[in-house]
Amino acid sequence: MRRLLVGLMAGSVLAAVTACGSSDPGGKDTAGSSGGTTTVKVGVVPVLDVAPIYLGEKQGFYADRGLELELVPAQGGAAIVPGVMSGQFQFGFSNTTSLLVARSKNVPVKAVANGAASTGKGGADFAAITVGKGSPLTSAKQLEGKKAAVNTLNNICDTSIRESVRKDGGDPSKVEFVEMPFDRMPAALDGGQVDAACTPEPALATVKAAGGKEIASNFHDVSPDLTVAMYFTSQQFAGENPELVKKFKEATAESLKYADSHPEEVRQILTTYTKIPTTLLEKLTLPRYPAEPDRASIERLAELGERDGLFEKAPDLDELLP
């Protein structure tokens, strides 16, 4: 993520992705209209965090507002941010730290709707620091001198793990972070490649099913109401398409509200776009899906990112948040 954004600001990568996408980055010609319906492309990560948008599409919340969604899976926000900036997608989904890093580098991303949030329950969140079966580690402080797996270096996982260690009285500078995809973490814990891992669902349930255990709730340790991810667009697209953005925001808010009150439908919709085994569905801890981002928690995440050196300058939250 960091490397891509640096490239974006340097201009060369932006030129490359623009050449592969629209000739008008983020402009009005990137959303297609037909018969009163506008098709918008949304870059999403195929994880349970985005279940509400699939559920909202199924319920017709977007169609009711004249929007047809084309949901395009991507490996992570690192691919989605330049995709939105180039006009390949009109909207994207990304974790909050990735958007903060982008804003700190003057990449003009603009959050338009909430995505997912911590459950607000320590020890019962949808993400945790886990260790493998038989591990002697029982607390975040004991990660000093150990290897911890994160999906992306210098992002929300290592920032939140550092906070868990700090809150437990440890020195986070003594933790060694290792980058690997979430789905490889359970095997890496079993094989002893790493001592601990940042595991959101379904990796969390997979580790527990194999006999592993949770030693800290790293997202909750940043803030009980942490806004973990949001939907966003480019400032240019938002400025040129205010009505379309308003419709997307309203439909997404309705989808988030529906998902929060229909957890069993959330579990079932997961089977349509993920490879989560059906045997794990009932064991998954779902995030909360509040309609609005929690500014105080994002300010806290930004403070920690600045403290950990993720930003060359503090991001402007007024420029980022809806």
Domains of the chain, CATH where assigned? 38-118+226-319 (3.40.190.10), 127-222 (3.40.190.10)
Q: Extract the runs of DSSP E, i.e. beta strands, from the chain.
A: 32-34, 37-44, 67-73, 91-95, 109-117, 127-131, 147-150, 176-179, 196-200, 213-216, 227-234
Which position has the token pair 């040129």? 240
Tokens encoding 7? 């490239």
Count other Cβ atoms within 10 Å, centred on residue 122: 14
pLDDT for 14: 29
Tell the burial category of 242 from Cβ atoms under 10 Å away from its Cβ (0-12, 13-18, 19+). exposed
Tokens encoding 41? 């492309």
This prediction has a pTM of: 0.86
pLDDT for 71: 97
Segment 248-280, tens digit of pLDDT = 999 999 999 999 999 999 999 999 998 888 889
Residues of the chain with pLDDT under 70: 1-35, 75, 78
pLDDT for 78: 67
